[in-house]
């Protein structure tokens, strides 16, 4: 991917949008928002070419960072929620010989409202209704891929919430309580959130948070934190409205602080 960071790191949303836009001759006068660009790509070329392009991009051994190493050092099982498509967290855990399970939101119409559930070391996932997912979160670390994921050795199982239609479908499933697995309801209600690198200018994230508060009755005054480097005044205001304390620092600097203070929290990437 020509727009990938020169260090070989995972492409940012802007880099991915630019790459897809160049591939499909996206109109120059339009803003290169990733969901819009991906929607245009799907309309012009079709879903299968879009999926193949995304698979080619994320079928890569991206280098891990301090955050990934830190996650493996937490002794208590944790629930990791990520909107990233790559498998970097899984590979890091596997490299450290740690057990985990993966839950992936689906976009393949043939799967209906089912999710994909990879139990520890299982070669194939189970297709499960999110209402009936059964994992003991007190004893198992779970990586919840809220916006889908690349399945590198089985591209037919790739799932991507990336187009505008995908986000509309995701939100529709949330309102019907068919998106977020029911087993996550209690931790979503009672645990603190730690947001890493998220910007609340992203409207779909605000919708997700609204639905969590509305459906799962999560108190708005429950303390949470966001780590975001140089957030805009608009983002600061959005976070404050949700009772989230924002720390203006890089994730690497934040991990340094964690290592000094030995703090472990529920993590949302």
Residue extents of the structural domains in the chain:
13-58, 66-268
State the Cα–Cα distance between residues 229 and 191, nearest whole angstrom.
24
State the burial class of residue 28 (Cβ atoms within 10 Å of its Cβ: 0-12, 13-18, 19+).
exposed
* Of 8, 5, 6, 32, nearest in space to 20 by CA: 32
Q: Is the confidence at residue 206, as pLDDT, over 80?
A: no
Mean pLDDT of 10-18: 93
**Where do we find the tokens 């977020």?**
180
**Where do we find the tokens 């790559």?**
86
State the burial class of residue 108 (Cβ atoms within 10 Å of its Cβ: 0-12, 13-18, 19+).
middle
> What does the mean pLDDT of the chain come to?
87
The pLDDT confidence band at residue 264, using thresholds 50, 70 and 90, is: very low
- What are the tens digits of pLDDT across the range 56-90? 999 999 998 889 989 999 989 999 999 999 999 99
Cα 211 to the chain's mean position, in Å?
17
**What pLDDT, on a 0 to 100 scale, did the predictor assign at position 263?**
47
Give the Cβ contact number of residue 43 at 10 Å: 13
Q: Is the confidence at residue 157, as pLDDT, over 60?
A: yes
pTM (2 d.p.):
0.88
**Where do we find the tokens 């479908």?**
169
**What pLDDT, on a 0 to 100 scale, did the predictor assign at position 29?**
92
């Amino acid at each position: 991917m020509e727009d990938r960071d020169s260090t070989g790191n995972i492409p940012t949303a802007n880099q991915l949008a630019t790459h897809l836009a160049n591939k499909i001759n996206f109109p120059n006068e339009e803003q290169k928002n990733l969901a819009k660009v991906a929607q245009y790509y799907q309309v012009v070329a079709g879903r299968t070419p879009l999926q193949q392009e995304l698979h080619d991009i994320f079928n890569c051994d991206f280098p891990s960072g301090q955050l990934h190493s830190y996650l493996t050092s937490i002794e208590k099982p944790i629930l990791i929620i990520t909107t990233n498509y790559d498998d970097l967290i899984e590979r890091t855990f596997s490299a450290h010989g740690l057990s985990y399970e993966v839950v992936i939101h689906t976009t393949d119409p043939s799967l209906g409202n089912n999710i994909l559930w990879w139990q520890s070391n299982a070669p194939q996932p189970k297709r499960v209704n999110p209402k009936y997912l059964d994992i003991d979160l007190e004893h198992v670390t779970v990586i919840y891929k809220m916006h889908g994921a690349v399945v590198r050795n089985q591209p037919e199982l790739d799932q991507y919430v990336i187009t505008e239609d995908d986000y509309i479908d995701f939100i529709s499933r949330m309102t019907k309580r068919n998106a977020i697995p029911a087993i996550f309801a209690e931790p979503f209600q009672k645990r603190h959130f730690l947001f890493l690198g998220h910007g609340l200018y992203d409207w779909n994230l605000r919708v997700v948070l609204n639905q969590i508060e509305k459906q799962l009755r999560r108190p708005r005054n429950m303390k949470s934190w966001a780590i975001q480097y140089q957030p805009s005044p608009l983002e600061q205001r959005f976070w404050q409205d949700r009772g989230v304390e924002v720390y203006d620092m890089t994730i690497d600097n934040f991990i340094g602080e964690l290592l000094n203070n030995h703090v472990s929290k529920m993590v949302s990437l």
